[in-house]
Copies of this chain bind each other. A is one copy, B any other.
Amino acid sequence: MNDPRPLRTLAVGLGPIGIAATRLALSRRSLAVVGAVDLDPAKEGAELASLVNADGGAGAASRAHNDGAVHVERDLERALDRLAPDLVLLCTSSFLPAVRADLLRCAARGVDVVSSCEELLFPALQHPDMAAEIDEAARQGGASILGTGVNPGFILDFVPVIASAVAYDVTGVRGVRVVDAGKRRLPLQKKVGAAMTEREFRDLVAQGKLGHIGMRESVALVGRALGLELEDVAQTVAPVIATEERRTPFLTVAPGAVAGIHNRGIGRSGGRTVVELDLKMFVGALDPRDEIFLDGDPPVHLRFEGGIFGDSATAAILVNSARQVVDARPGLLTVLDIAPPRLAR
């Protein structure tokens, strides 16, 4: 808890999450953003501070130790070799196969990674061989690699597991997250399918182009961490249909159209559902909240009033986990393997 030197951080991936996390990192004295990488040719050579501020950020982007102007480059290996950073903030994709090569590049150089890649929360669920390969490379190279975020990464997985600390036994876990998408940015409203027809929604879900990524990873992590011995992890994705007209600053949802998404993750043990994570994000949702119920001895019921605001929370958790990842043992880690995240100044 002392004040060690700032972590020399390389920002990789400057989409909305990467921009938000980088903007926050630039404002922290515990981190120094020394470089930035993005594949988009339109961003190449751009000054990081202006890119970050153009995206609507607060003016906190310049601090003494970030004075040297950082320009966006395209080649990760070259940036890693030139800068030898302590940490990569990797926000390029939700899917493990798409981040595998970059993780191996970092692992080979012993550079620690915090990533928003949703599948990286529990990569062994869908990609066991790839997870083993990355873990082995990270151990060999002396790199600690973590996937985290607010969901997955905190609300529906980390929090219920931590709540079990006060229990003698846990026989079941239920998590409920309700988000009023009407109070969020347009990209989130689009992501949940607001204003689509039910047919459009179902087509996009079938194509894997709509929906929340990482739900099954949350279920698997909870099951593993609490010793629930899941034999089966599944999910359902369904539309929430509007029963009355709903207007947001960006769009209007007509009655009968899709207001948003209902995503359930289910973990079964002995034929019984023992983990149920229920996520509803739709325009007009009442009583937005995050709630965790542990069945057990004693039962535990935990509630974040109003819910955790997701737009900023993932950026926050990435930055607020950085020091803990750097301090952790090498390997492919989970949010339960490192010291817990907390506000980084």
B343 touches A169 (CB 8 A): yes
Bound Cα distance A305, B176 (Å): 15
Which one of A165, A226, A320, A345 has the highest number of Cβ atoms from chain B below 10 Å of its Cβ? A165
Q: Is A89 an interface residue (CB 8 A)?
A: no
- Within the complex, the shortest CB–CB distance from A217 to chain B, in Å, comes to 14
Q: A1-B225, A302-B302 are in contact. Are A161 and B308 (CB under 8 A)?
A: no
Chain B residues near A312 (CB-CB < 8 A):
166, 168, 297-298
Judge if A342 is at the interface, Cβ distance under 8 Å: yes
**Bound Cα distance A86, B342 (Å):** 29
**Which of the 9-residue segments A135-143, A183-191, A333-341 touches chain B?**
A333-341
User: How many residues on chain A are close to B (CB under 8 Å)?
Assistant: 46
Closest to A28 in B: B168
Question: What 0/1 pattern do residues 299 to 341 of A give for CB contact below 8 A with B?
Answer: 0111111101100110111001100000000000010111111
Closest Cβ neighbor of A29 among chain B residues: B227
Taking the nearest CB of chain B, how far is it from the CB of A293, in angstroms?
9
CB <8 Å contact, A165 and B227: no
Confirm or deny: A162 has a beta carbon within 8 angstroms of a beta carbon on chain B. yes
List of B residues within 8 angstroms of A242 by Cβ: none
Contact B165 A342 (CB under 8 A): yes
CB distance from A228 to the nearest CB of B (A): 10
Using Cβ atoms and an 8 Å threshold, which residues of chain B touch A26? none
Please state if B304 and A301 are interface contacts (CB–CB under 8 Å). yes
Chain B CB within 8 A of A98 CB: no
A306 to B301, Cβ gap below 8 A? yes
Name the B residues within 8 Å of A343 (CB-CB). 161, 164-165, 167, 169-170, 226-227
A24 at the interface (CB under 8 A from B): yes
A100 within 8 A of B: no
Min distance, Cβ A193 to any Cβ of chain B, angstroms: 25
Given known A-B contacts A342-B225, A343-B226, A308 and B166 have beta carbons under 8 A apart = yes
The distance in angstroms between the C-alpha atoms of A300 and B340, with both chains bound, is 17
User: In the assembled complex, which residues on chain B have CB atoms less than 8 Å from the CB atom of A154?
Assistant: 165-166
Does the CB pair A164–B336 fall under 8 Å?
A: no
Query: Which residues on the B side are within 8 Å of A342 (C-beta)?
Result: 161-162, 164-165, 225-226, 336
Which residues of chain B are within 8 angstroms of A341 by Cβ–Cβ distance?
Answer: 162, 165
Which residues 28-81 of A have a CB within 8 angstroms of B? none
Kindly identify which residue among B168, B224, B301, B316 contacts A165, using a CB–CB cutoff of 8 Å.
B316
Distance (whole angstroms) from the CB of A213 to the closest CB of chain B: 19
Is A321 a contact of B1 with CB atoms below 8 Å? no
Mind listing 10 A-B residue pairs with CB under 8 Å?
A162-B162, A162-B341, A165-B342, A166-B312, A166-B313, A166-B320, A170-B343, A298-B312, A302-B303, A336-B342
Q: A162-B340, A227-B343, A303-B303 are in contact. List 18 more A-B contacts (CB 8 A).
A: A1-B336, A154-B166, A161-B342, A162-B341, A164-B320, A164-B343, A166-B312, A167-B316, A169-B343, A225-B342, A298-B312, A300-B304, A301-B305, A301-B306, A302-B304, A302-B305, A303-B305, A337-B339
Closest 8 CB pairs of A and B: A165-B341, A164-B343, A166-B313, A301-B305, A227-B345, A340-B340, A161-B342, A165-B320
